[in-house]
Structure 1
């Protein structure tokens, strides 16, 4: 009974499953779709596959069409091979999944391809591919039609050609700007048309051809012919007048393509020395003034234009106006203004001095000297057709000044001190010299320059210069200035030392008071000897603790370099100013080196500490003596014989006691060695006294 029930249950399940499959099969649809994109680009000569995906049925019948032309059929998983159209057998292959493969696909296989799949009892399924076959674009060139383009013509066109290639897109450019169809530009299949060309259409045109496998650009430069336009005639530099011996250039330019040719005509003659419309005139003469005519011709358009320019040439006065003021009769001031040459002569005047007075080329006015004229500036106006110019002059009393002094030694070994007093004024000041209350005049000791601004004093001894005060006075009609001059012996006002980074080279610098008479300097040093270039010591005569001269410098020097110092040693330097054999006070001492030396307090401390150290040493010696004496007394205590067993054990064991054990001032151990005399063997040994504890120290 149970078995029958199980049989009926399984039968019900089977019928339910069968009914389910039957119901679902009634709603199955055959579906075919591209496995990738439906638009496929391929390069000619390559292999490409139009892949499909099938669902809803197994082993459907496949039919491929190129457009409406059947090119191959097959039933998937059929034992028979695909049936390919005869003219396509070398190219087409139907794959196991129904996809269509092209082998070495030719260029002309570009088309729409449709696959249809059928299955008994199911609706037909299909999908369409677009296959585009391309070639690499090669040898792209551009040309114009016509070859010469004139402004105002109807049109001209640009056409391209190529050796091979399939163009999917063409883009035209003008001066790198993309063009679009307009009233001026018209794009055709293989060209570009420019309507009613203008000169602004001159430039670089380019076409870019593209497909999925290549992109090629070609360009061509196009010139639209026109002109010449109205000529532009200019003179460089542009000015209403030109001066004799000046240079100028006349340029004649007009827009045109090709560039118009030009020529200059002057006085009915063609001038040959022109270049691209430019006429250069050098070393002008008065006779070169007049009318110059430029003629322009376009050789292609045959257009001709002319234009003239007038050149006026004058002779400019030489240089610039010069103003000055002089003393006249020790009472008057003469103001002068001059500007020589020129055609016509320049007109000169001092409006502030006298409004109505003027003159040509040279002009002067004399006025009485007065304090009202001191430091007052007057302007001379110079008027010429070519140029207006001016100069100014100021009369003033001498200004405050600083005397300058220089010291040398002449061939006779005399010291020569030159004092200069200059006050830059106008009119020029006269300088007078004095020593104390006496006027200085030319002689053996004193020499005054022709312009009176310099005084030379000669002598062997420095005292000839420093015993007296000198003075100089600068004087003109408007006032005077006096300066006292006190010469002083050789001295140094300031000095410094600058070492290099390694401490092997130093530079000494110093300053000298303005009126110090100095003919040279001695550079002196104390300390160890300097090193030579090979590292050896340079020996200098003298003790290292005494200053010795290592260099001599002239009176004009203000620095000295000293080489080859040992940075680990200490040196001291100073500078000695000299006036021939007379030495001045040395400069401050400059020290350099690794050691700082001992200060005064440190030396005093050492001196005070020496007696204390001697006292401590004496005390320590007494303690050592007492310790040694006590040790000696303890070493004379009675020694007792040592039992033989102990002696034997001592001698049989290795000596492991360190050799550097020190008693450290402790008592010695008693001697327990047995006595060898037989008479001593019967003697009762003395009572044993334990030795004191022994401390040992090991020195490591």
Structure 2
């Protein structure tokens, strides 16, 4: 049984519960945060709400009066969103409306209504404003030229993107208000009946919650000209073509009147405040220039004319050339085009010939005296004197160049180039054996005759006869024979990297060898892959195998990955299609595989020489010992006293076992100095040896 205190507490809780239930009988929806929401286009934004008074109410969102989404909170069915807005709008679990990547056109007033059966409707409204940052604002005027007294003058702004919330116009830093003279309308500032006092700087300030941009435009209102004055700088009787000059036309007035320059009936666009700048002028720009000053307000027109003379220098520098004519004549040409007047040209060495057309041509008979001769053309013009020269020469010695390719139809194409330095340019004649070569299916000669192309499938046909090219001009000729060779290699080398894992093979091909490709062959162990785990190419220790096929234009290749502890051999096989030439020399890399045959032969040849050398050395040693023994048995003679005393005063360091006469060694006196306890036997008695006389042989 509960105590009275517990009963009272229970009753109080029940009363409080009923009281709260009564307070929740009204459905209320409230905004969470401000109802004016600003956002940038492309952002995600939520119009957040909260509600009280009933569970699971029905939610309807409106854009103005247009429903855009409905849902019953905690319903198992998804919200129903307008079809054209489903990729942007979504209703949250608490009834809030979320915009994902919101576009500009979603700006508007959004109202949410919550309903519950028996509890009525509760609503709240949001204002969503979607903006873009204002960028690249520019001001333009209409009309471009402002004339005093016209009806209206308009300044308009344009921008790359942005949404403007507010625009503020000012003139010379003073804010403009709408009045009888100024009118702000949409993107425009309209100036009613502008006058000269409206000249100055106009500024527009564009703002929104996320950006602010200020742009300026300077405007000048034009009015009335007086008598114009024309000044030509520099002041000369004539002007040199290629130079620059300016024409200035001025008249009193404020502001300056519009100025136009007219030349040959056409209005020139390159004017600025009455100044016409002419740069890099040409003779066709010489003539009468008319300055026209016009005031649109008064319709008063002022004109003044000035004559400009332009004197032209010929273009560039004189050009000299020489050509062959009929294989026995030389045609010299001197050219210096343009100019007013045209240049006078002459070649004094070939006669006193004068031309006033800027183009001189003179043909002479070729002779040995023209070989390596320099001919000078003199060019004279009032502005400048100039000259050019050309050296004629017979064809010089040259080396033919041979290149081999394979055509798309599988034919070998051998190109022979014979190009000799000569003036005039040498023409090339081609022959095969004793037959003259002309263009056709097999043979093709280039337009300048310097290249012969030969096409055939059989390489043997290329090697039958010699080809001859003869370079000739009227001063001489040079002839070279070309003996085409089969595929061959003249030299080759091998270069390893520092680790011995990668090698580079290089080779050379004789200049006239026909080669369309190369086989790179290897004999040795397997090549490794780059990661060292799998076989890159399987080799052979007994025979050569082809590991690479290289095009005929290549002269080197890289081979990897090698094991530096193993031995590999490589060679290059030149090919002309299926025909193979002699392989290159063999290049070996690695620690080796024992003695080679050459090394064994060298050792075998050196053994007899070594034995002979040892016998000879033994004989020499024997003779030296025999001579020394014979000398030691010679008769000795007494030594002089002085010598004997000198010897007696010096210690004898010669071991006794080397003395003649077979004397025995002296006893070890160090041992004799031992103490009695150290000795094992008694000390021997010592008798000095008898004196020996030594004779010296002189």
Same fold (TM over 0.5): no
TM-score by length of 2: 0.44
**TM-score if structure 1 supplies the norm length?**
0.44
